[in-house]
Structures are given as C-alpha cells and as structure tokens.
Amino acid sequence: MAKVKPAATTPAKTVKSKTARATAPKAKATNPLLSPWKSKLGLPPFKSLKAEHFRPAFDAALKEHEREISKISGARTKATFTNTIVAMEKAGAVLGRVSRVFHNLAGADTNAELQAIEREMSPRLARHSTAIYLDAGLFKRIDDLFQRQGNLKLDAEQTRLLERYHKMFVRAGARLDARAKRRMGEINERLASLGTQFAQNVLADEQAFRLPLNGAEDLAGLPEFAVAAAARTAADLGLSGHVVTLARSSIEPFLQFSTRRDLRETAFKAWTKRGENGNAYDNRAIAAETITLRAERAGLLGYKTFADFRLDDAMAKSPAAVRGLLDEVWAAAVPQAGRERARLEAFARGEGQNIRVEAWDWRFYSEKVRKAEFDLDEGEIKPYLQLDRIIEAAFDTASRLFGVSFKERNDLGRYHPDVRTFEVTDKSGAHVGVFLGDYFARPSKRSGAWMSTYRGQRKLGGEERPVVVNVMSFARGGEGEPTLLSFDDARTLFHEFGHALHGLLSDVTYPSLACTAVATDFVELPSQLFEHWLSEPAVLKRYALHYKTGTPIPDTLLQRLDAARTFNQGFATVEYVASALADLELHSLDDPKGLDVTRFESQMLERRGMPREIVMRHRLPHFAHIFSGGGYASGYYSYMWSEVMDADAFDAFKEAGDAFDPATAARLKEFIYSAGNRRDPAQAYTAFRGRLPTSQAMLKKRGLAA
C-alpha cells in the first residue's frame, strides 16, 4: 500500500507564532523563499535553497499571515463571501509556499539540520493553526455567512467552500468555551511534536539497520537482479560487497528468494521491530500518548471516541460502517490464508523441510508455490519491468485517457540529482502542470511512497497550475544496469501516479477544494483505479520489454500472470485488514489511559484470530500512516473502502468494451480527477457511475467472493 501525503499546509490551515521575529527587508531580498521566484513554471528555487533559509522564512511568513487573519477577523464591515471566505483563501500564500517546500524536503531529502527545524516548527505551526480556528471573531463571521447562505446567491462551488469552512472550524473547536479552547491548543501543539518525532524515529531505525551479505553463502538463492541491487545499495552507502536495507524494495526480494532462513529471520524481525527496539527511537510511549490526546480532543468536541469524530466527516460516516466492510472481508480472507499456509507447508515437506511456516518463510515459500502452480516467479517477471519503461507506460495511459503529454525538462530545477522533471501539457499544447519523479531509496528519504505538491492549483486571483511530486523508494539497479521492478513495485508507481494525476488535472477555483483535498476514504480512488491499467495486455505488451533482448513480454507469461492474479490474496488481505482493524479499534477506545500499544496489538489480533504466520502490514510502533501527522488516523481502512469503488469504476470501462473508452474517461476526468472537493464524494461517484458501488467487484478481484 502507498499513501498520499497531502500538502503540508494550506492558507487556511496554518499556525500562530507568539515568538515570530521580524525579518529585515534585506533578509527578505536575499532569502530565496521570500523573494519572488524566478524559476520556470512555478518551481521553487532549489539551487539557491539552504537549510538556514527556513527559520527566517517561517518567521516572516507566520507574521504576515497573522496580519492577514487579524484584518479579516477584526473587520467592522458586515461579513460577505468575498471579504471573509475569499480573503481567507488568499491569506497565507507565503506561509503555504514555505511550508510545502520545507515539508517535502523534510520527507524526501532530509538531514540533521532540517530535522531540528522540523521539531521546532511543528508545534509553532500547530499553535498558529489552532489560533486561527479558535478565533472567535473569525468564526462569528463564517457562522453568520453559513446561516445566511440561502440569501447569498452563491454558486455550487462557493456553497461547498462555505460549508467546508464552517465544518472545519466547528470540528476544530470554534464553539468551545475559553477553557476548552486553551486545552485544545495544548493538545494540538503536543500532537504535532509527537507526530514529527514518531516519523524521525522510524527513519532512524531504518537507517541503522544494514544486513551485509558476505560471499556466495549469504547470497544463496538470490537472482541476478537482487544481487545487483544489493551491490548497488552497498556502493551507495560507501561500503563494499552486498547490503540489504529496510527499504521495501530491498528487503522483500531478499525475503522472497534467499535460501538462508536464518538471515531471512534476522531481516524480517528488524523490519517488523522498527520503533520498538527499546532504544532512543522507541515509539511505543509516543503512540500511547498520541492515542490518549486524540481521545481527549474528541471528547472536548462531544464525540464518544476519536474514530466517531474522524469518521463523521468521511464518506463512511461511522465506525460501524467501516467495521462492517472490514469484518466482511476479514471473514473471507482468514480461511483463505489458512488454505494458503497449508499449501506452503505441504510444499516445504515435499522439499524435505519438515518445518512450521513462520512469518519470515511466507514470501519465500509462496514464491516457490507460485512457480510450481503457475510456472511463474518474480525472477521471470522482473526483467520485463524496467523502471523507465513503466514510467513511460504510466504517461501513455494518462495520455490515452485524459489527453495529456509529458516532456522531460532538464532545464528545470530539482532538489536532488535523482529527481526527473516533466512539463505536462494538454492536447492543445497548453501548460497543465509540472511533474517531479523521485524514484530511488536513499538514507535521506523516509521509506515508502507518496504524492505531494510543491504548488497547488487555483483559479482565484489568476490561473495557477500545480507542481506535483511522486516519491518512491525503489532499489537502484546495478552499475550500468537498468532498475528492474517487481510487479508490486510497478503497481505502486501506477498508484502514486494516479494520485499525481488527481493533482495535475485539478480544475477548480478555490485552493481549499483543489487537487487531493478530498475525504481520506475518497482520495485513494483515483490512485487505486489507475493501477488497473498496468495489468491491461495492451499496456504490458508495449512497455514490458526485456531489458537485455528488448522483446515484449510473451503472451504465455501474460496468461500465467492473469491466472495467478488472486494467488496469495488471503495473505495480502489479512496483513492489510489487520492493520486497518488495529487502527480503527485503537481509535475507538473511549478511555485509552495507560495504553500499552504492544499489548493492545497482541490482544486485538488474538481476539480476531490473526494467523500466527502473518504479521500486520504496519505494526503500531512504525505505523506512520496513523501516527506521523495522523493523516490516516482512524482512516487506514480507506484503501479498501476506495477499492470497493475502484473495482466497480473499472467495470464501467469493461462494460463499455474498451479500457480506454473515451466517453467513460471523459466522465472520469470531469467528476473524479479534475473535480477536487467540489462535491460530496458519494455525489461525485454517482455522477460518474450513475450509482454507488457494492463490495462484490472488490471481493471478486481479490478472489474472495463466495
């Protein structure tokens, strides 16, 4: 699974600083973050940026935003949509710009200095944001407009924006009394610090682990591509020989192919113990305090639990609705995983290994069983999945669906030598946006994959087109060799590019409704839907070319890939749903004081009948989706909620008889990819499909339908 990382701050969602320092005009003139950007197509001035620029830039931007908000809040004129809501949309432009650049770099190319600034700024930004949302004068004006909206002659997008502002302020505590507001501010500030520390701890644990492979014995079983990648990883770290790290694209091939069961166990335990090693980077106390503070915040707002609070503003609406979907899928997946385990153990016995399959054995034996049953293994597929060709496949798919083109621009700036920069244009040649691709794992980058923006889209005050980035952590190919992807890696690339298209194609007026600013359980629809085109034979036959011979992937291999489509889906579904259930149940605690997250995780899984050979996809001490900023807190179910929609949505193309049907693609672009948050998610999906989806298409896709 991949996650989308929303823009770090938007003009209406940033923080008041009591310690903002004045910035002299000379400093503004010399600070590239504060001076007018002269870079082409709206890119930040990456070449001129230094870590030392961020503190003064934040100081100046916070001070400017405070003045803007004070002017709106203290206005003596009657509130209008223009002098209040539009003014809020325009306010904080500099702060939003500085924040987006900083938080993108802090995730993708960090260092000790940036991490120190991140720890300092997180509570300051939270304090500033809280001060805005709890500003009584500001809310009085927004509430007045909300109550009078029927007489304001607003269009549909303006009405939606006003409703979203009102709801955001109410959910932030605008109606609380003074004492509760003070406590809300304290909670928000502390949660911001905890989220930053959690993410930095996970990165530190990941960076600390290196598994050296010394000689042929340690490399036993690894195919050529895995050996080459391990050699390149070692070289990138300044080491000799071969090294496996905790980057998913490094460790997963090792777990799939290494015949060294002892080394697989070592690597797997390190992978699953991130944030739980009893060292300075242990996240268990941070996670417990985070859950306790979230529960308190929900209680201040009148909700029984944080899950109730969070889901009240989601497409799902309630924990019961989410639990119903997860329970349905869990009930089908656990027995399937049991049957899969039996096949793995039978295969091991057939090889003379009278073992009980453990978690570090599952990927190894499932790869063997897949080879035996479908004449298919990852080592056969990977030579056809070159990174550069899969990038081209994603671009071509977007072009055929939505009429956009991608041209690499080496004259445009980039924040790291690995980054590739593309200008995106439409059929007429008009500028659509800029796409940055950052594909390789490195120590300065947190693991995983995500999409974010350096600049959003808006029409307010003049057309402004987005600058979007995809960040991934693929293991680089050997020296002089192309980078080869697993099928899961290729799917991740398509997934994140679906998010990128959601940002690039955005076509709304107001920035708070633009790009991926939609409900968490709707934001994964564009990304997961785009994954489907990777499996289309027309795409694979054109772009899946053998890296040595250049020959297209054979029809027989495509047929075997399709036949194995639901192989091991019991395992994949259980490891994901276990994480989603843990997230939901953790945030459904009404009194989490004294929480031990390890004990909670263990007891919850035991109650649920978690197979002992499967580990949660994200164990709680390193579950960054829900603890690092909390974007998916009580929302990790969103991938499956969206999968219900994406399976049904792709059926629309099947029903049209063409995976690139123009009429279906036009509806998809109009109501999903370009529409931002102009509509309620259920209305948006219904406008595209004509109805809401059911779970049957998703269960069938996973091979779990009755």
At position 658, the amino acid (one-letter code) is: D
Buried b (16+ CB within 10 A) or exposed e, 155-165: eebbebbbebb
The H-or-E segment that residue 435 falls in is strand 431-440
Helix runs in 80-155, H state only: 87-90, 93-108, 112-133, 136-147
**Contact assessment for residue 22 and residue 135, using Cβ atoms and an 8 Å cutoff:** no
Name, in order, each residue with C-beta under 8 angstroms of 635's C-beta and a sequence gap of 6 or more.
310, 311, 314, 520, 521, 583, 626
**List of E strands, 265-344:** none
- Could you tell me the CA-to-CA distances from 365 to 219, 229, 570, 610 in Å, in that order? 17, 22, 15, 20
Place of tokens 């000790």: 112
**Contact assessment for residue 688 and residue 522, using Cβ atoms and an 8 Å cutoff:** no
β-bridge mates for residue 447, sequence order: none
The residues carrying an active-site annotation are 496
- Sign of the alpha-carbon torsion through 78, 84, 86, 90: positive
Listed residue (457, 460, 433, 455) closest to 91, CA to CA: 460
- For 445, 523, 605, 610, 614, the CA distances from 574, given in Å and listed in that order, are 28, 22, 11, 8, 8
Which tokens go with 449?
Answer: 């994959």
- With CA atoms as reference, report the closest residue to 392 among 268, 459, 525, 482: 482
Is residue 444 within 8 A of residue 110, CB to CB? The reply is yes
Q: Where are the alpha helices (DSSP H) in 424-505?
A: 487-504
Q: Do 399 and 392 meet the contact criterion of CB atoms below 8 Å apart? A: no
Under 8 Å CB-to-CB from 663, ≥6 apart: which residues? 656
Number of neighbours of residue 180 by Cβ within 10 angstroms: 15
Return d(Cα 203, Cα 433) in angstroms, integer.
31
Beta bridge partners of 438: 471
Q: Estimate to the nearest angstrom the gap between the alpha carbon of 706 and the chain centroid.
A: 31
CB 275 within 8 A of CB 622: yes
